[in-house]
Amino acid sequence: MLRLYDTASGRIEALDLRRRGELSLYVCGPTVYADPHVGHGRFALVWDVLARYARWSGLSVRYVSNVTDIDDKIIARAAEEGTDTAAVASRSEAVWWDAMDRLGVQRPDQTPHATAYVEAMVELIAGLVDAGHAYPGGDGVYFAATTVADYGLLAPGPLEGLQAGARVEVGAESGKRSPLDFALWKLAKPGEPSWASPWGAGRPGWHTECVVMSLDLLGEDFDLHGGGIDLAFPHHENERAQAAAAGRAFARRWAHSGHVVADGGEKMSKSLGNTLSLPGLLDAHDPRAYRLLALQSHYRRSMTVSPTTLEAAGRAVGGLDGFGRDFAAARDAEPDTGVRGRFAERMDDDLDTPGAVAVLFDAMRSARISGDAGVAAAVIEAWEKGLGLPLAGEAQVPAAASAKAAERDAARARKDWSRADALRAELVADGWVVEDTAGGTKLRRRR
RNA sequence: GGCGGCGUGGCCGAGUGGUUCAGGCAAGGGACUGCAAAUCCCUCUACCCCGGUUCGAUCCCGGGCGCCGCCUCCA
């Protein structure tokens, strides 16, 4: 059984599934206002690998991830461009899914949009106000954080320290009573998109949508809530607090993925302006190189992404493809249970993908030496189904090239080395890697 | 200011109180090859600094230095 670090308890614990054999997973998805950067790619890869591995290991997975399509930044972007928020959101979302497809990230089973849940959010907020957990302020409705007994569970430390350092204004026009309070509903300023509510036209605050959508689609007491580590506090805490205040059982476990940092070790984020664009990365590198790079770091740690590390991973992927080609015939073999077990053991231990990958590289070497098809089959299956990293199969070689290869074999058979070398040079010039094997000249595309 | 994380060999990146090693990439040597390529074998460079605990610490404790993060929109 998969064991994961739970942010709430601070311990690595076995999943405690609501229903046996079924994993309900909710992950906070993107706010669609600009092109995704490589950090978004990392978090998407982490949860994709988790969902794939959980499925591969026999769980029935229900994976929901939201799209935030109304938000201050979308509004700001639309104003800049002189267009509307829906245009910004739909365009950015298209770029997002295109990048996900290229990364080989499987779509979550459901991808709810905030704008489709506004009514439900208003209902939730109204209930919170009625119950005394929320209050109208000057520019919206605020959640009274202090009314939730264990508020701060997902915070990095005691709340007293947070309060001391909080830079959020209290009082003034917002009417916020405590720096920890947060907006559930923001009243619309002129020209802003809005929905009707008992408190006036406005839009929901960011922290409410995930509560409503996760509970609607996964039901109460769902198994695992994930997201980037920067969301743990306050975003996830604020979700949790709302659910608690509304008397709804929320996520049983919390998991958070680490950040991508630039070469100098600094966090990559939109607000720091030091981001690498994800589409740009995918143009420049084999998307599988990024997946491998992500797999070679532990998901909770920061990870360095740079051209150097991507290129190194790309070369390693080339080696994987070589293995996939050389053992294409082994795909039908019965996968070796030993390899499978060692791989699963690493994965089950808090998604130790670096360890799991090391197991696979070791197994590849031993398959090379022994020629054991079962070991090879287990390796290929683990890469592809367990980790979502497909390996190349037999190369597709056009007739003209294979004719040259055949001619070269004939030349080599009569030891006509100059002719053989000339043909090899031609093939290389055409972009082929030429390898001599027991079965004759083998070709594959140069990467 | 409060809280937390990290500091590993040329690079990325795991892990552990000691005797066998993460793994990947790169580099050097060798085998194989007509020559290559691919593959395999071997090798090299480690655990920020200073104390302490210990028979023994990279791993535990304390201090220091450095980098980073969260507390504020953020994957």
Mean pLDDT by 10-residue block, N- to C-terminus, for chain A (447 residues)? 87 91 95 92 95 96 96 92 94 96 96 96 96 91 90 79 56 72 92 94 94 96 93 91 95 92 66 75 94 93 88 93 93 95 93 94 94 95 96 87 94 94 91 88 83
Same domain, A51 and A93: yes
Q: Answer for A43: CB within 7 Å of strand B.
A: yes
Strand B: list positions under 7 Å from protein Cβ: 1-4, 6, 11-15, 22-26, 33-41, 67-75
Same domain, A357 and A409: no
Same domain, A28 and A129: yes
3-state secondary structure A119-176: HHHHHHHHHHHHCCCEEECCCEEEECHHHCCCCCCCCCCCHHHHHHHCCCCCECCCCE
Same domain, A202 and A305: no
Is the ipTM, as predicted for this complex, more than 0.95?
no
Name the domain boundary from A386, A415, A432.
A386
Same domain, A12 and A85: yes
Q: Does A393 reside within a domain?
A: no
- CA A383 to C1' B21, in angstroms, rounded, equals 23
Same domain, A293 and A193: no
Q: Does A239 reside within a domain?
A: yes
Nearest residue to A394 (alpha-carbon basis) of A335, A320, A332, A444 = A444
Question: What pLDDT score was predicted for residue A154?
Answer: 87
Q: Answer for A100: CB within 7 Å of strand B.
A: no
Q: Does A274 reside within a domain?
A: no
Number of domains in chain A: 3
**CB proximity list for A404: less than 8 A, separation 6 or greater:** A423, A426, A427
Same domain, A110 and A207: yes
Q: Does A279 reside within a domain?
A: no
- CA A354 to C1' B22, in angstroms, rounded, equals 9
Residue-number span of the structural domain to which A18 is assigned:
3-260
Question: What pLDDT score was predicted for residue A224?
Answer: 95
Q: Does A376 reside within a domain?
A: yes
Bridge-partner residues for A26, per DSSP? A64, A225
Name the domain boundary from A340, A363, A386.
A386
